[in-house]
Amino acid sequence: MTTTSGGLREFDLLEQTWRHVTPDTARRLLIAASQAFADRGYHATTTRDIASLAGMSPAAVYIHYRSKEELLFQISKIGHELSLAVLTEVQGDDPTQVLANAVSSFARWHAEFHNTARVVQYELSALTPEHHAEVVELRRRIEAEVRNVIEAGVETGEFDVPDLRGATLAVLSLCIDVARWYQPGGKRSPEQIGDLYADLVLRMLRPAA
Amino acid sequence: MTTTSGGLREFDLLEQTWRHVTPDTARRLLIAASQAFADRGYHATTTRDIASLAGMSPAAVYIHYRSKEELLFQISKIGHELSLAVLTEVQGDDPTQVLANAVSSFARWHAEFHNTARVVQYELSALTPEHHAEVVELRRRIEAEVRNVIEAGVETGEFDVPDLRGATLAVLSLCIDVARWYQPGGKRSPEQIGDLYADLVLRMLRPAA
DNA sequence: GAACATACTAAGCGGTTGCTTAGCCCTAAG
DNA sequence: CTTAGGGCTAAGCAACCGCTTAGTATGTTC
């Protein structure tokens, strides 16, 4: 049973994202770090902030993670994998349905899990070159997933796009940017944002009259 | 005469944005700061980085600016004003033309001046509450400018949108996110991005067949 | 040429950073 | 009861942070 209180609801969503991380203390540190990184940014967050949010001493961080950057990498990697999974799990009878579900789910994910999404989308440059490369490969697969759905719709004649890669870029960009402007207390729920965006994207790709 | 070399071309664009700032040294510091803030982020940039990029000693910063945050505020304020001006200067015979020009120019600005645009879009939370409020007012005017154009098109029947504020949000979001993914060496020029996006947005808002 | 103003630098201050060290507490096997 | 080991903390280290102070070089005014 989840509560409806703002702060606790936020915490529940973070718990949901990181539920597979063990042991318990390592998970609490990841949750604290993703909260802090999303709120203040990676560089503005101190290891003392993270430890304090997790209710521990500053030194406790280094029992479970080698460095502050390793904490960022875990969040970024798992976050990318989750957002990719959201896309690969999408179903539908035809490209129109599949794309509508993909956009709806992907945009909704960036709203609902905007904390994780912000770290995923805006802290790439703080990763070490090796970790950055690993994450870029996941991003390539996310882009390919969306491009393939649009391409399938072009082949059936359901979509009409002048520039496949350009359209893919725009669709992804639209969904990703939700993480920037979304606010939990706002007038649109994550579900409503997903519906709105699925509709707008289908309008954008439909053939002319 | 501008050079075609990457690094110098970038510097020319920054010069163009800040050409009204005087004295000379204050402008050089602003250019250095916007370069560094865009590349590494505000919090990851030190005042020594900025001074060094401007070819001066760390103390020189404080002759022209009260603090590092004041440097950020100047960049953010002027940047917001410039991007608002891009929208207000747009012309056209009908809402369709005006919106196409607005989207084309606004998206193009976020590509061409992606350095400034990144500071404008991603460092809001590093401003003091007073400076933040001042900049939020400019953002409100930017949103209103786009919303009014779309509304005008809905009234003439040129556009068909199920949700005016939702459509405005999506159009703005699309253009703003250009600053995140644009890379100077990429295969699309700022002009091409502007054209692509104007086309996609008009497709999104056109009435059904 | 004396007096002043402006633009800058060298040096450094107090505080904070990521991270380490040394040791304590608790559990559990021998 | 002893001993070993993992999880944690108190204390602190070296480096770095934003910013200040004291002083120097240069040009201008009378």
Contact A200 B170 (CB under 8 A): yes
Map residue A8 onto helix, strand or coil: helix
In chain A, residues with a C-beta closer than 8 Å to the C-beta of B166 are 188, 196, 200
Token duo for residue A103: 């956009």
Q: Is B132 exposed, middle or buried (0-12, 13-18, 19+ CB in 10 A)?
A: middle
A4 has a pLDDT exceeding 60: no
- What pLDDT is stored for residue B16 in this prediction? 76
- What pLDDT is stored for residue B2 in this prediction? 44
Question: What are A77-109's pLDDT values in tens digits?
Answer: 999 999 999 999 999 999 999 999 999 999 999
pTM of this structure = 0.91
A174 or A4: which leads in pLDDT: A174
What is the spatial distance between Cα B9 and Cα B14, in angstroms, rounded to a whole number? 9
Determine if strand D comes within 7 Å of the CB of A59: yes
Map residue A63 onto helix, strand or coil: helix
> Hey, what amino acid is at B20?
H
Q: Which of B85, B201, B209, B105 is nearest to B153 (CA)?
A: B201
Question: What are A156-184's pLDDT values in tens digits?
Answer: 999 999 999 999 999 999 999 999 999 99
What is the spatial distance between Cα B19 and Cα B12, in angstroms, rounded to a whole number? 10
Question: What are B67-111's pLDDT values in tens digits?
Answer: 999 999 999 999 999 999 999 999 999 999 999 999 999 999 999
Helix (H) or strand (E) holding B92: none
Residues 6+ apart with CB under 8 A from A55: A28
Question: What are A19-58's pLDDT values in tens digits?
Answer: 887 788 899 999 999 999 999 999 999 999 999 999 999 9
The answer to whether A116 and A17 are in contact (CB under 8 A) is yes
What is the spatial distance between Cα A77 and Cα B160, in angstroms, rounded to a whole number? 40
Angle at A132 between CA B185 and CA A73, to 5 degrees: 150
The answer to whether A35 and A115 are in contact (CB under 8 A) is yes
Q: Which of B16, B63, B180 is nearest to B71 (CA)?
A: B63
- What pLDDT is stored for residue B1 in this prediction? 45
Question: What are B131-157's pLDDT values in tens digits?
Answer: 999 999 999 999 999 999 999 999 999
The answer to whether B126 and A44 are in contact (CB under 8 A) is yes
Angle at B109 between CA A174 and CA B7, to 5 degrees: 110
**Position A2 confidence tier, pLDDT thresholds 50, 70, 90:** very low
pLDDT-above-90 percentage for chain B = 87
pLDDT-above-90 percentage for chain A = 87
Contact A199 B162 (CB under 8 A): yes
What is the spatial distance between Cα B36 and Cα B52, in angstroms, rounded to a whole number? 11
Determine if strand D comes within 7 Å of the CB of B56: no
Map residue B20 onto helix, strand or coil: coil
In chain A, residues with a C-beta closer than 8 Å to the C-beta of B174 are 170, 173-174, 177
Q: Summarize the confidence of residues A112-121 as an average pLDDT.
A: 97
The answer to whether B37 and B75 are in contact (CB under 8 A) is yes
- What pLDDT is stored for residue A5 in this prediction? 53
Dihedral sign, CA of B39, B41, B44, B49? Answer: positive
Backbone phi, psi, residue B44, to 5°: -85, -5
Q: CA of B48 and C1' of D19: distance in angstroms? A: 11
Q: What is the number of alpha carbons within 13 Å of residue B189 lying toward its C-beta? A: 3
Whole-Å CA distances, A136 to A125, A132, B89, B90: 11, 6, 38, 37
DSSP output for B30-52: HHHHHHHHHHH-TTT--HHHHHH
What is the spatial distance between Cα A194 and Cα A100, in angstroms, rounded to a whole number? 9
**Position A10 confidence tier, pLDDT thresholds 50, 70, 90:** low
Q: CA of A26 and C1' of C23: distance in angstroms? A: 23
What is the spatial distance between Cα A183 and Cα A112, in angstroms, rounded to a whole number? 9
Residue of A nearest to B202 (CA): A204
Contact A196 B125 (CB under 8 A): no
Question: What are B1-55's pLDDT values in tens digits?
Answer: 444 455 556 666 667 788 887 788 999 999 999 999 999 999 999 999 999 999 9
- What pLDDT is stored for residue B10 in this prediction? 65
- What pLDDT is stored for residue B23 in this prediction? 84
